[in-house]
Structure 1
Amino acid sequence: MLKKKFFCLLAALVFLTSCQKDIPEPEVKAVEKKVAVTPMNSINTKNELPVMGSEQKDFLVEHHVKGSNVYIECIIPGISLRENSQENIGKIILYVDDKKVREISTAAFIVKGLSNGTHHIRIDVVKLDNSPYKLTKEFQVEIPYE
């Protein structure tokens, strides 16, 4: 009876640990709306004020500190981190304390083993050839002294 419980426990442990590495990457897809296009030469804009636009799209970065690890999740509208995507493709470059740590191709990741104290983290979203999308987020994290 004890051997049967041991083997069931061992089988459950193997099952649970084998499924951990196959977590899908979170993707954010923009919702497409039907857009009507009207040529500007058919509209009277003589009395209209010009509108200045910005090329920078906004993206969201959420982080959580647990021990000496920082859990980070990025939501980047209109840019995919998968190379086989039909959207604009990009990657994340992670900097910790102004030093490049790694290029990342997943929207959620963990920065492990930071030393105690305050750290400056910067996340740049760039194209695969490292040309900028002009998307950058910076924040400070405090790793507690234990």
Structure 2
Amino acid sequence: MKRLLALVFILIGMTGCVEDKPRPEGNVILVPLHVTNVSNDVVEVVSQSQLASLNIKHYVRNKDVYVECYIPNFSFKEKGGNKVSGEGHIEVSVDGKKIDDMNTAAFIVKGLNRGVHEMMVEVVHNDSTTYDLKKIWTVSIQ
């Protein structure tokens, strides 16, 4: 009887050791790495991820448009200087006309006339070459 009881406890204990491990919730993103230098002590790797997305949130209030930009792995810098990947600013255009260069993620476009306007935000390097990231949307001013 003791052996049967011991066998039951062993079987119950073994059922807890299965391959069904918990998986992380949410989106899991894998970034490939490229090994550039290998030694016994240090391995240098370089991320091959590029700026892949530009998310814009906007809010219209009276004649002003409040804009918030989210660009993963990006640092806003003043216009000018050397071209550095992951750094730069954004160019803001309204109705096809460039309004200004912005070096902040949030800004306000003030004093738009009544009607429908096409807005564009484009991400550029400090030397004004493009990242090929831009968003175009329309706003209606009442």
TM-score above 0.5: yes
Distance 1:55 1:88 in 2: 8
Tell me, in whole angstroms, the C-alpha distance in 2 between the residues paired with 1:36 and 1:104. 32
More strand by share: 2
- Provide structure 1 residue ranges, at least 5 long, that are not aligned to the other structure: 1-32, 39-53
What amino acid does structure 2 have at the position aligned with 1:64?
Y
**Who is 2:67 aligned against?**
72
Cα deviation digits, residues 61-96 of structure 1 (max 9, x gap): 00000000000000011111035xx97211000000
Equivalent position amino acid for 1:114 in 2: L
Q: Distance in 1 between matches of 2:33 and 2:125?
A: 29
Percent sequence identity over aligned pairs: 38
Query: Partner of 1:100: helix, strand, or coil?
Result: strand
Tell me which amino acid in the other structure corresponds to 1:120.
E
Q: Deviations over 1:85-132 (max 9, x none)?
A: x97211000000000000000000000000000000000000000111
Q: Which residue of 1 aligns with 2:103?
A: 105
> Counterparts in 2 of 1:101-140, with a 5 A limit?
101-140=99-138
The CA deviation string for residues 13-37 of structure 1, in whole angstroms up to 9 with x for no partner, is xxxxxxxxxxxxxxxxxxxx89776
Correspondence 1:58 to 2:53: yes
Larger radius of gyration between Structure 1 and Structure 2: 2
- Deviation of 1:59 after TM superposition, in Å, equals 1.5
Unaligned runs of 5+ in 2: 1-29, 36-48, 79-83
Matched residue type, 1:76:
I
| Residue of structure 1 equivalent to 2:87 | 89
The list of structure 1 runs, each at least 4 consecutive aligned residues, that deviate by more than 2 angstroms after superposition, is: 33-38
Note if contact 1:78-1:87 (Cα within 8 Å) is conserved in structure 2.
no
- Secondary structure of 1:114 counterpart: coil
- How many pairs are equivalent? 96
Cα distance, 1:55 vs. partner? 6.0
- TM-score, scaled to structure 1: 0.58
- For 1:109 and 1:125, the matched residues in 2 are separated by 14
- Cα-Cα RMSD: 2.8
After TM superposition, the score normalised by the length of structure 2 is 0.60
